[in-house]
Amino acid sequence: MVAYRLAIHPLHNPQKLFEYYQPLVDYINKKIPEIYIELEASRDYPTFEKKFRNREPDLLLPNPWQTLQAMENGYRVIAMAGDAKDFKGIFIVRKDNNIKKPIELKGKSVSYPAPTALAAAIMPQYFLYSNGLDINKDIENIYVGSQESSIMNVYLGNVTVGATWPPPWRLFQRYSPEQAKQLKVIWQTPSLINNSVMVRDDFPIAISNKIQNLLVTLRESTEGKTIISGMETSLFTMAKDADYDVVREYIKHFEANVRSVETSND
């Protein structure tokens, strides 16, 4: 039996990441007994990104921007995780906040998981830019490390608005209903393309094909439906590197108008 490492970007804090994704790993290990996949969490985005730049994990589940970076380090796409329509930024505020328009954020603070979080930082900042804000001067950008932390900073009143994306918000509503009752979604960005599943270029193609097949057929069984429901991911679909060219174009426009992706002002 050969062991392989699967690293997932910080969709959630490490404890919750294992809770949501270990059933998927267990399922793959059961269906492909000749391998053993070990799930690996990262404490923050830079830690995860360092791992794939060093070519340490065998498999990845990165966000679409990280997908482009991982391609440059010898990884290739085998699937997309989730519905593309679900990949969008959302803005969370407390229900007692009367803010209506993005321009009213001038002089106020916004939380995000990390500067390289595509749906939960890059896309929200492009949305604010498109609505007349200079995000480098008009607001205080606070990068708090995780999706849950971005939401909790709103709940605790540390920031005016928190940026995240739909899956962690749905999980927050499920597991922290009392806190979620005090929050609401106020704006959302257009959709793009969802997270990818990638393998390193020296990963066995036969095993890669088996994993790909298991993922894209996951929701065809009762067990699979339970697994994807627990992750708040609707499905896995076939995908390839070229499908992420749309992200390359998006990032080009973002960096030309807003900021460099890997430069934060925190």
Asked whether residue 257 is domain-assigned, the answer is no
Asked whether residue 99 is domain-assigned, the answer is yes
Q: What is the pLDDT of residues 19-32, one digit of tens each?
A: 989 999 999 999 99
pLDDT of residue 13: 79
Asked whether residue 215 is domain-assigned, the answer is yes
Q: What is the pLDDT of residues 122-145, one digit of tens each?
A: 999 999 999 999 999 999 999 998
Q: Which residue has the higher pLDDT, 231 or 201?
A: 201
pLDDT greater than 80 at residue 263 = no
Length of the chain: 266
pLDDT greater than 60 at residue 265 = no
The encoded tokens of residue 261 equal: 């992706």
pLDDT of residue 35: 96
SS3 83: coil
Contact call for residues 86 and 234 (beta carbons, < 8 A):
yes
Stretch 2-26: mean pLDDT, rounded? 91
Asked whether residue 203 is domain-assigned, the answer is yes
Pair (186, 198) in one structural domain: no
pLDDT of residue 10: 85
Asked whether residue 73 is domain-assigned, the answer is yes
Sheet holding 75-81, edge to edge: 35-40, 2-8, 59-61, 195-200, 75-81, 236-238
pLDDT greater than 80 at residue 264 = no
Q: What is the pLDDT of residues 29-61, one digit of tens each?
A: 999 999 999 999 998 889 999 999 999 999 999
Which of 4, 3, 1, 263 minimizes the C-alpha distance to 135?
263
pTM of the predicted model as reported, rounded to 2 decimal places: 0.87
Q: What is the pLDDT of residues 67-126, one digit of tens each?
A: 999 999 999 999 999 899 999 999 999 999 999 999 999 999 999 999 999 999 999 999
Between CA 21 and CA 23 the distance in angstroms is 5
Stretch 210-222: mean pLDDT, rounded? 96
Look up the CATH number of the domain holding residue 200: 3.40.190.10
Q: What is the pLDDT of residues 217-245, one digit of tens each?
A: 999 999 999 998 888 777 999 999 999 99
pLDDT greater than 90 at residue 150 = yes
pLDDT greater than 80 at residue 148 = yes
R_g of the chain computed on alpha carbons: 18
**Phi, psi at residue 255, to the nearest 5°?**
-70, -30
Residue 13 DSSP class: -
Stretch 158-167: mean pLDDT, rounded? 96
Pair (56, 107) in one structural domain: no
Asked whether residue 259 is domain-assigned, the answer is no
Asked whether residue 232 is domain-assigned, the answer is yes
pLDDT of residue 173: 96
Asked whether residue 179 is domain-assigned, the answer is yes
Pair (184, 102) in one structural domain: yes
Residue 170 DSSP class: H
- For every residue of 191-250, DSSP letters joined together read P---EEEEEETTS-HHHHHHHHHHHHTGGGSHHHHHHHHHHT---EEE--GGGGHHHHHH
Give the domain extent around 178.
88-190
Amino acid at site 73: N
Q: Does the CA dihedral 107-111-117-120 come out positive or negative?
A: negative
Pair (178, 199) in one structural domain: no
What are the CB-based long-range contacts (under 8 Å, 24+) for 29-33?
Answer: 31/210, 31/214, 32/207, 32/210, 32/211, 32/214, 33/1
Amino acid at site 122: I
The pLDDT mean for the chain works out to: 94
How are beta strands 161-164 and 2-8 bridged, if at all? Answer: unpaired
pLDDT of residue 188: 98
pLDDT of residue 232: 73
